[in-house]
Amino acid sequence: MTTATVERAERPGRPARSKEPGPGLLKSIARAWDRHWYAWAMVAPVVIVLGVLVLYPLGYGVYLSFTNATAQNVATDIGPVHVPASYHFVGLHNYWQILSGQDGDFYPRLEWTVIWTVACVGITYSIGLGMAVLLNRPMRFRLAYRLALILPWAVPAFVGVFAWRLMFNSQYGVFNDVINVVGLPSQDWLGTPFAQKVAVIIVNVWCGVPFMMVAILGGLQSIPNELYEAAEMDGASPLQRFTNVTVPGLRPVTSTVVLLSTVWTFNMFPIIYLLLGSNTSGDTDILVTFAYEKAFVGISDYAGAASYGIVILLILVAFSTFYRSRIKTEQS
C-alpha cells in the first residue's frame, strides 16, 4: 500500500514527455534504472536463470537444427586431441527432410502421436469427470476414496509403469493368472504393436486420471449450489442439470486441464519408454521417444534430434494458440 502511494506521489513530478523534446534512449534507460533499479535487481535472477536454462538451450537447439551436427563432427577437445568442428550449415534441409516425409519416420510417428494424445486426453478427461461427479456428493469414506484415487499420482511414474509391466507379463503376469482362473487362455498383452499401443494408453490413463479428477473436483465445487437448486425447481432432469449447469460451469477448468494434459501427453516420454523397453518394433514410438533415440542411441545425431525437438515445439505452440483463441471466441 505505502509503495503504491509513494509511487503515485512521485508521478506528478515527472517531466511531461509530450511537451519537451524527448530525452534520448540512453537517458530514459538511465532514468528508468535510477528509479526502478531495485525492481530490476529483484527480477534479474529470474531473467538470468530463464536465460541460462531456457533461452540459451532453446536458441542453441534452433541453431543446431540448421546444421548437420552429429557427435562425430562437432568440435572435440579431449586431452591431447583437438578436432575442430567440421559440421556446417545446411539451412532448412533437416526441416525439409522431416516435413516432406523423406526421412520416412516423421508422419507415421506424428500420426500415432496424435492418436495417442487424443485417446489419452479424451479417456482421461471422461473418467476424471465421472469420478469427480461421483465424489462430489456427500458420501461415507469420501476422504478415503479421494486418497485412494490420488495414489497413482503420488507413485513415481517409473514405479507405476514397472508394476504395470509386471502385470502385463504374458508368461508370469497377474492378468493372465486371473483370466486363467476363469478358464480363458493366456493373452499376450504386449505382443503386437496394436496391443502395445492399447497398453501404453491404459497405463497413461491410469497415471493421468488423478490429476483430472482433482482439477475437475475443484471446478465442481466452485459451481454455486443455487444453480442446481434453480434448475431442479424448473424441473430439469439430472442429465439436463449435468449438461446445462455442470458442463458450462466447468468450462474454465476444462479448457485449462485439456490444454495442459494435451501438452503433457504429447511429450509423455517415460510411460512409453519404460513400459516397452527396447524390445519393440518402434511402432509405439511417439515423436519425443523417437527424437530421444536420435539423440542418445549410438552416434548422437544432434541436428536431427534438435530439428525434431523444434518441430514438436512448433506443433505444440500452434496447437495452444489455436486452442486458446477457440476457447476465447467460445466464451465471449
- Asked whether 192 and 263 are in contact (CB, 8 A), the reply is no
From the list 67-75, 213-221, 225-233, 242-250, the region that binds another protein by CB under 8 A is 67-75
d(CA 32, CA 191): 65
Task: Pick from 2, 3, 5, 279 the residue near another protein by CB under 8 A.
Answer: 279
306 binds another protein (CB under 8 A): no
From the list 24-32, 135-143, 185-193, 262-270, the region that binds another protein by CB under 8 A is 185-193
Between 51 and 191, whose beta carbon lies closer to another protein?
191
278 binds another protein (CB under 8 A): yes
253 binds another protein (CB under 8 A): no
- Asked whether 306 and 87 are in contact (CB, 8 A), the reply is no
Between 1 and 81, whose beta carbon lies closer to another protein?
81
- Asked whether 301 and 72 are in contact (CB, 8 A), the reply is no
Q: What is the DSSP code string of 283-317?
A: TT--HHHHHHHHHHSSS--HHHHHHHHHHHHHHHH
Task: Pick from 15, 79, 91, 156 the residue near another protein by CB under 8 A.
Answer: 79
Cell digits of residue 51? 536465460
Three-class DSSP category at 236: coil
d(CA 183, CA 180): 5
CB of 30 to another protein, least distance (A): 40
72 binds another protein (CB under 8 A): yes
From the list 70-78, 118-126, 209-217, 222-230, the region that binds another protein by CB under 8 A is 70-78
190 binds another protein (CB under 8 A): yes
Residue in the block written with cell 459451481: 223
Taking residues 144 to 173 in sequence order and writing x for each that binds another protein by CB under 8 A, - otherwise, the string is ---------------------x--xxxxx-
d(CA 185, CA 296): 40
Q: Where are the alpha helices (DSSP H) in the chain?
A: 2-10, 25-50, 56-65, 93-99, 106-135, 142-154, 157-168, 174-182, 193-221, 225-233, 238-241, 247-266, 269-276, 287-296, 302-331
Q: Which residues contact 87 (CB under 8 A, 6 or more apart)?
A: 67, 68, 69, 70, 73, 74, 303
Taking residues 11 to 50 in sequence order and writing x for each that binds another protein by CB under 8 A, - otherwise, the string is ----------------------------------------
For residue 76, the surrounding DSSP H or E stretch is strand 76-78
Report the site for another protein in 91-130 (rule: CB under 8 A): 104
282 binds another protein (CB under 8 A): yes
CB of 120 to another protein, least distance (A): 19
Helices 193-221, 269-276: axis angle to 10 degrees equals 140
84 binds another protein (CB under 8 A): no
Between 167 and 258, whose beta carbon lies closer to another protein?
167
Footprint of another protein (CB under 8 A): 71-72, 74, 76-81, 83, 104, 165, 168-172, 188, 190-193, 196, 275-282, 293, 296-300
